[in-house]
């Protein structure tokens, strides 16, 4: 098996790469990204370059790739701040990748990381598989457009595509990033590391959450599902759990103590609030549930997972 | 007022140009198209060229365009037959136009001709404003993607966009074209002209219809509506009337006699049927109704309109 992961130098991409390596010891796994801050080890082939450049895509795909995970993207806050960059990477990049796939010997399976940022505007209290995407950010727009491209290239037999609308992934390790959702990890990660975290949104803000562990499982599962179980849209809203910022902090307090929870300070940021306010909070994910995708059981287990993987990273 | 109509050499584009000229005698009206088979008269500026070429767009837009009607497209059958051409014109072309608009002195109003080909797959019996687009053609995919671009460029204040999902326009004059819906006009136009028409779909096939007169009115109305009445998606399903092929033929018979109706012959075409089968037939158009868009009162009046405009064209 020959696998390509775009965004393979990122946090989820590198975890996905490790999970795939475990499952497929003999696979060629190629990672494409603009950089590899944490070198991914010798068992991976790395390509550094611009996703929107056809020659980069061609080199990364070769001619015998079977499976593509498309995770590379300019994140929400970044695409909102730099309109041209967002369209170049998140739309032109997706298209260049699909065009590259079309030239392969066999249509590859392709799993696309879409986002619940697809949704916005006037939303029902609980979203479901019939809710129409109405993104309120350029990032969300680019994700929805890419979903439609994945569906059309699939219908034409050029790829076998599968799009996953990811909840907010919590807890992301490392540093805060430009994603408007960065706070949702920051309010857990920084206090657990002994630091103060500034939360830009009120503690009543709801978040639709999936853990890093579960999202990696979802990517692997999405690749393995037979083509026949996917709807013609090729899109599924992944399961998740809904928590307010307050509930997240309280759960962290139960796992790690009250003094940890008290390291979260509130410092309103209207720019972040304006983006986050448009995101959906509650879903019924009947299609994903029927397809075997899994949410986390509770937030405490997400916090414990994070503590354990930080320990493992520190001793590695 | 300075107006640009892309696809201004086409049937609807040229009728729209004439209607706008009547309404705005002093406006500069520029038509952009790949060709002008029927020269549009001295009161219009014409630009011949490729919509996807930024320099063509720049020349057609100038720097002081107030209003853009974006009608140019590779039609459904054409975009399905030539994947690359469809994406180049229907997606890259739209994007080039929006990028051009972004460079203007003031954000122009832009009315985009989308299509009910946005819908497909498993559909409810009656579609409404909440139905999620799931196109089953590349043409439909390109229209939906363009709608999302129009919404995002509008949200960013680069244009003031309005997308209309057009029903099948009946009766188109002239020759059959590559649109899979071409038969819906052919079965009326050819018999009225004394010729036999071959209908590629069964007479039970339903069609969601709007007349040329009403769609031109809708374009003008869409431009005039204030920004505030548009939803954030900037899309509206236009009103129409639903008829089966049999009902259309019978109505023509009532207007023009039984021998005319008998000139329709049925010659099944699986390729056309496969496309048409995915199109929606019945809608509730509450949003459009509330915004003042109008359907035709009945099919007989559409047939009579067509007869009259053919007479006018013949004596012109």
- State residue B180's pLDDT score: 83
Token digits for B15? Answer: 């009728």
B276 compared with A146, residue with greater pLDDT: A146
- State residue B175's pLDDT score: 86
Number of neighbouring beta carbons within 10 Å of residue B105: 10
Residue B138 pLDDT greater than 90, yes or no: yes
- State residue B227's pLDDT score: 98
The rounded distance, in Å, linking the Cα atoms of A20 and A10 is 15
- State residue B313's pLDDT score: 85
Token digits for B200? Answer: 């590629």
Active-site annotation of B, residues: 139
What's the average model confidence in pLDDT over B56-84? 94
- State residue A76's pLDDT score: 84
Lowest mean pLDDT among A130-134, A271-275, B87-91, B251-255: A271-275
pTM (2 d.p.): 0.96
The rounded distance, in Å, linking the Cα atoms of B306 and B209 is 14
Number of neighbouring beta carbons within 10 Å of residue B11: 18
Closest CA to A245 of A136, A137, A134, A168: A168
B151 contact A CB<8A:
yes
Q: A155 and B148 in contact by Cβ < 8 A?
A: no
What's the angle, vertex CA A127, arms to CA A124 and CA A133, rounded to 5? 90
Mean pLDDT of chain B: 95
The rounded distance, in Å, linking the Cα atoms of A133 and B148 is 10
Token digits for B99? Answer: 């990028």
Chain A residue with minimal CA distance to B235?
Answer: A134
- State residue A177's pLDDT score: 82
Contacts of B122 (CB under 8 A, 6+ apart): A231, A232, B134
pLDDT in tens, chain A (316 residues): 999 999 999 999 999 999 999 999 999 999 999 999 888 889 999 999 999 899 999 999 999 999 999 999 998 889 999 999 999 999 999 999 999 999 999 999 999 999 999 999 889 999 999 999 999 999 999 999 999 999 999 999 999 999 999 999 999 998 888 888 899 999 999 999 999 999 999 999 999 999 999 999 999 999 999 999 999 999 999 999 999 999 999 999 999 999 999 999 999 999 899 888 888 999 999 999 999 999 999 999 999 999 999 998 888 7
CB-nearest to A141 from B132, B135, B152 is B152
How far away is chain B from the Cα of A312, in angstroms, using its nearest Cα?
Answer: 43
Chain B residue with minimal CA distance to A147?
Answer: B145
Per residue, what are the HEC states of chain A? CEEEEECCCCHHHHHHHHHHHHHCCCCEEEEEECCCCCCCCCCCEEEECCCCCHHHHHHHHCCCCCEEEECCCCCHHHHHHCHHHHHHHHHHHHHHHHHHHHCCCCCCEEEEEEEHHHCCCCCCCCECCCCCCCCCCHHHHHHHHHHHHHHHHHHCCCCEEEEEEECEECCCCCCCCCCCCHHHHHHHHHHHCCCCEEECCCCCCEEEEECHHHHHHHHHHHHHCCHHHCCCCCEEECCCEEEEHHHHHHHHHHHHCHHHHCCEEECCCHHHHHHHCCCCCCECCHHHHHCCCCCCCCHHHHHHHHHHHHHHHHHC
- State residue B25's pLDDT score: 96
Closest CA to B167 of B110, B75, B243, B239: B239
Mutation target for B interface from A136, A141, A158: give the one with most B CBs within 10 A: A141
For residue A144, the chain B residues in CB contact (below 8 A) are: 148
The rounded distance, in Å, linking the Cα atoms of B248 and B252 is 6
Which domains can be identified in chain B, with CATH numbers? 2-166+210-237 (3.40.50.720), 182-207+241-280+297-315 (3.90.25.10)
Q: B151 and A145 in contact by Cβ < 8 A?
A: no
The rounded distance, in Å, linking the Cα atoms of A181 and A281 is 13
Write down the residue that tokens 């000139």 correspond to. Answer: B263
Chain A residue with minimal CA distance to B92?
Answer: A92
Contacts of A286 (CB under 8 A, 6+ apart): A128, A129
Q: B132 and A134 in contact by Cβ < 8 A?
A: no
CB distance B186 to B196 below 8 Å:
no
Q: A149 and B134 in contact by Cβ < 8 A?
A: no
Share above pLDDT 90 across residues of chain B, in percent, rounded to a whole number: 88
Strand partners, B213: none
- State residue B37's pLDDT score: 87
For residue B121, the chain A residues in CB contact (below 8 A) are: 231-233
Contacts of A154 (CB under 8 A, 6+ apart): A160, A161, A234
Lowest mean pLDDT among A175-189, B216-230, B252-266: A175-189
Chain B residue with minimal CA distance to A95?
Answer: B87
Q: A134 and B83 in contact by Cβ < 8 A?
A: no
B278 compared with A81, residue with greater pLDDT: A81
B52 contact A CB<8A:
no
- State residue B77's pLDDT score: 85
């Amino acid at each position: 098996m020959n696998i390509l992961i775009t965004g393979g130098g990122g946090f989820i991409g590198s975890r996905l790469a490790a999970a795939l390596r475990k499952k497929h010891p003999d696979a060629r796994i190629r990672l494409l990204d603009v950089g590899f801050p944490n070198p991914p080890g010798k068992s991976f082939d790395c390509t550094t370059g611009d996703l929107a450049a056809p020659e980069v895509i061609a080199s990364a795909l070769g001619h015998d790739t079977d499976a593509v995970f498309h995770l590379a993207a300019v994140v929400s806050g970044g695409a909102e701040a730099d309109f041209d960059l967002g369209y170049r990477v998140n739309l032109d990049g997706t298209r260049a990748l699909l065009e590259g796939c079309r030239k392969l010997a066999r249509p590859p399976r392709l799993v696309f990381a879409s986002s619940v940022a697809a949704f916005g505007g006037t939303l029902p209290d609980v979203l479901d598989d019939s809710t129409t995407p109405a993104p309120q950010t350029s990032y969300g727009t680019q994700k929805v457009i890419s979903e439609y491209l994945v569906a059309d290239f699939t219908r034409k037999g050029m790829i076998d595509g599968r799009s996953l609308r990811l909840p907010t992934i919590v807890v992301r390790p490392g540093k805060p990033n430009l994603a408007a959702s960065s706070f949702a990890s920051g309010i857990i990660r920084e206090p657990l590391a002994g630091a103060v975290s500034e939360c830009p949104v009120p503690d009543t803000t709801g978040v639709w959450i999936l853990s890093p562990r579960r999202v990696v499982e979802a990517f692997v599962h999405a690749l393995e599902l037979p083509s026949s179980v996917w709807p013609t849209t090729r899109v599924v809203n992944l399961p998740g759990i809904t928590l307010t910022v307050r509930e997240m902090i309280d759960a962290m307090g139960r796992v790690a103590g009250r003094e940890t929870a008290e390291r979260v300070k509130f410092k309103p940021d209207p720019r972040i609030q304006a983006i986050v306010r448009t995101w959906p909070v509650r879903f019924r994910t009947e299609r994903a549930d029927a397809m075997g995708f899994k949410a986390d059981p509770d937030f405490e287990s997400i916090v414990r997972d994070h503590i354990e993987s930080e320990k493992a990273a520190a001793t590695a």
